[in-house]
Amino acid sequence: MGKVIYLDNAATTKTAPEVVEAMLPYFTEKFGNPSSVYSFASGNKDEITRQREVIADALGAKSNEIYFTAGGSESDNWALKAAAEAYAGKGNHIITTKIEHHAILHTGEYLESRGFEVTYLDVDEDGVVKLEDLKAAIRPTTILISVMFANNEIGTIQPIKEIGEIAREHGILFHTDAVQAFGQVPINVDEYHIDMLSASGHKLNGPKGIGFLYIRKGVKIRSFVHGGAQERKRRAGTENVPGIVGLGTATARAIRTMEERTAKEIQLRDYLIDRVMNEIPYTKLNGHREKRLPNNANFSFRFIEGESMLIMLDMKGICGSSGSACTSGSLDPSHVLLAIGLPHEIAHGSLRLTLNEEITKEDIDYVVDNLKKIVADLRAMSPLYEDFEKKNRKLI
């Protein structure tokens, strides 16, 4: 295979070499169960404590507020289900948004089937939650607000501090799915009034299958996995020691490199956006122009089918992602693109490109040069585009 230009870092990232290196001994010589008494294994308990502190520091939290899980989906499930159950005596209403990850949306649907009421807030055309709508949705029975920190498709970053303030004023718990934001933008749980926060290792150059849920001290939350006494009796199961070491190492690395890495990504992201918007006609940028993740670009090309575009990009060694969910067996376009008001046919022609620190300006030029040609070729085959061109010509 030739060179691969990987622009799908919102789907998953490469595990950084220093992360792999830190993990390896915990598969081999340091394989002991952290709960064992002998010193050969109990050193692993100390190691887990150290990694918990690294992660807590990254959020301005305390280490006993960090609970390891098997990833972002589990953290989201835990936050919603366990909070709903623990606070059911106070009320049965939950507020979230229409643009959440399915780990939140499908958990919301599940809770609805169990008698909870869930409000899914609309967003504006940039994908931003409207604070007035949030305030209007609050009821005396509202027990939880869950709004993602940054969106995984269009990259829009939410006004998390303002949302946290509103939740705090009303005495409502605030959870945020920060899987895309953690390690990309600075987060402080006290400053933003966050009570619970989900994150995942493999989105920040850590391993897959490990994540955490931050739970503020004092929040009533039930055990999610019953069994042994691990994770302060709230999530049983022998700890994934290599995974925890990987997550902690990836977190330390992400915090250490954040400023320089994201500055570089923003520069290249904007270069990519400018070239595409200037050189490919009938194109829309999805998501907020400035309040977006440093590495996210998302476009809709009119008269194009996203899947065909992905296949043709793949033939050039370029990995991207389409806004439509065809690959997952459904013909519906992305719920996020529909929520920002895109008509079905335009949402279908969408492309998400998410950068990493290894991407260069030459890579971007290669991608845009190929993309221009692919879009032109696909449009040349589109009857809709032909009609549109004919009408345009008449107008001139």
Least Å distance between CB 394 and ligand PLP? 45
Q: Is 148 in the site for ligand PLP (CB under 6 A)?
A: yes
Amino acid at 216: R
Least Å distance between CB 52 and ligand PLP? 18
Q: Is 320 in the site for ligand PLP (CB under 6 A)?
A: no
Stretch that binds ligand PLP, among 58-66, 177-185, 243-251, 264-272 (CB under 6 A): 177-185
Opening angle at CA 340, ends 258 and 139, nearest 5: 90
Nearest-angstrom CA–CA distance, 346 and 388: 14
Q: CB burial class (10 A; 0-12, 13-18, 19+) of residue 301? A: buried
- Candidates 211, 242, 243, 323; binder of ligand PLP (CB under 6 A) is 211
Within residues 57-96, the interface with ligand PLP by CB under 6 A covers 71-73, 76
Q: Is 97 in the site for ligand PLP (CB under 6 A)?
A: no
Q: Which is nearer to ligand PLP, 71 or 304 (CB)?
A: 71
Q: How many residues does the chain have?
A: 396
Q: Is 235 in the site for ligand PLP (CB under 6 A)?
A: no
Opening angle at CA 200, ends 197 and 205, nearest 5: 135
Least Å distance between CB 104 and ligand PLP? 7
Could you give the count of Cα atoms lying within 13 Å of 49 in the half-sphere of its Cβ? 7
Least Å distance between CB 229 and ligand PLP? 25
* Strands of the sheet with 321-322, listed across from one edge: 283-285, 296-301, 350-354, 321-322
- Candidates 13, 44, 152, 354; binder of ligand PLP (CB under 6 A) is 152
Distances from the Cα of 81 to the Cα of 86, 113, 138, 218, 343, angstroms: 9, 12, 19, 17, 33
**Residues noted as catalytic:** 326
Q: Is 287 in the site for ligand PLP (CB under 6 A)?
A: no
Binding region for ligand PLP (CB under 6 A): 71-73, 76, 101, 103, 148, 152, 177, 179-180, 200, 202-203, 211
